[in-house]
């Protein structure tokens, strides 16, 4: 009985740790994209609001105040985060381009001509803790091993 209780408790703890890690990663990515786009004046000031991330204050958070911002937020929330949750994502590249050429270049709809800045965010998933936590044998991990992986 005690072993079954210990297994359930460890499994639940691992699931919560993985959930918290995913939430932290999402919030960190949101904060980075918002901060980069704010510092580079990619969108008007009314597209941002003041935000707090953890104990850190003074961040600017993107708001869907126009179609371009709404499209970026949707790409992050439905594309990037869906791939992150399914553990398909290995890296995210956020690039800022200078100028557009071709059709609708005056509206920013053409082909980007030159990369000005590029940010790559690599994602790693611990192999031993991926998948359904219900199938993890808690006795195979020591406390030190779990701390090292997370």
Q: 24 falls in which pLDDT band (50, 70, 90)? A: confident
Whether the CB-CB separation of 33 and 72 falls below 8 Å is answered with: yes
Please give the average per-residue pLDDT across 77-93, as a whole number.
91
First-to-final CA distance of the chain: 28
Q: Locate tokens 């003074």: which residue?
A: 58
Whether the CB-CB separation of 76 and 93 falls below 8 Å is answered with: no
CA 9/CA 126 separation, integer angstroms: 20
Q: 130 falls in which pLDDT band (50, 70, 90)? A: very low
Report the pLDDT value the prediction gives residue 46, as an integer from 0 to 100. 94
Q: Between residues 3 and 71, which one has the greater pLDDT?
A: 71
What is the phi/psi pair of residue 29, to 5°?
Answer: -65, -45
Q: Can you list the alpha helix ranges (DSSP code H) found in the chain?
A: 2-39, 67-74, 81-85, 143-149
């Amino acid at each position: 009985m005690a072993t079954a209780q210990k297994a359930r408790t460890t499994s639940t703890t691992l699931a919560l740790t993985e959930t918290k890690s995913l939430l932290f990663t999402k919030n960190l990515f949101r904060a980075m994209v918002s901060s980069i786009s704010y510092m580079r004046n990619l969108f008007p000031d009314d597209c941002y609001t003041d935000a707090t991330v953890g104990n850190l204050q003074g961040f600017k958070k993107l708001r869907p105040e126009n179609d371009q911002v709404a499209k970026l937020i949707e790409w992050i929330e439905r594309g990037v985060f869906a791939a992150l949750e399914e553990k398909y994502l290995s890296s995210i590249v956020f690039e800022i381009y200078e100028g557009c050429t071709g059709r609708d270049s005056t509206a920013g709809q053409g082909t980007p001509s030159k990369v000005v800045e590029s940010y790559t965010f690599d994602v790693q998933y611990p192999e031993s803790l991926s998948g359904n936590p219900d199938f993890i044998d808690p006795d195979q991990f020591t406390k030190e091993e779990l701390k090292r992986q997370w």
